[in-house]
Amino acid sequence: MTNSKYQSNTGARILATIIDYILIMCFTIIYVYQFGEPNEEGSYGVSGIKAMVPILFWFFYLPFCEWKTGTTLGHWVVGLKIISENGAELTLGQSLKRRIFDLVDISLCFGLVAFIVVISTEKRQRIGDIVAKTLVIKK
């Protein structure tokens, strides 16, 4: 694989992430309004076992789909695929590691951390990719 494969997909990765997290946020908002209870502040919330559903959706949508298909809807739309750095099959553990680091990569400063790390690394990896030993490439 050549470096150009990594260098040309930063914009596509940003768009893929936006698509994926808008989908997750929409699901969560609709779910909370449909199955949540109103609180004192006039908003809705879920608690107990009901609070697990958005977490399970996140798990099946991101780590599980990446593991099974090498992509998510956002990555598929823009023509990207997640692969293992060493060429082996992507594992569920790798995908979980990638996604747990979304908290650092994407949540801090609205993705600025991920953007800076991606444009600064030779293989265009964000922190989650470095830890999980994965690459995001064009299909």
DSSP readout, 104-136? HHTTGGGGHHHHHHHHHSTT---HHHHHHTEEE
Those residues whose C-beta lies under 8 Å from the C-beta of residue 26, and which sit 6 or more positions away, are: none
pLDDT by residue for the chain (139 residues), tens only, comes to 445 556 568 899 999 999 999 999 999 999 999 999 999 998 999 999 999 999 999 999 999 999 999 999 999 999 999 999 998 999 999 999 999 999 999 888 889 999 999 999 999 999 999 999 999 999 8
What per-residue string of b and e applies to 109-120 under the rule 16 or more CB within 10 Å gives b? eebebbbebbee
Report how far residue 135's alpha carbon sits from residue 137's, in angstroms, rounded to the nearest whole number.
6
pTM to 2 decimals? 0.89
- What does the pLDDT read at residue 108? 83
Residue type for position 66: E
Total number of residues shown for the chain:
139
Residue 84 dihedral angles phi and psi, to the nearest 5°: -75, 140
Query: What phi-psi label fits residue 71: left (phi over 0), alpha (psi between -120 and 50 degrees) or beta?
Result: beta
- What does the pLDDT read at residue 2? 43
So where are the chain's domains?
3-138
> Tokens standing for 47?
């608690």
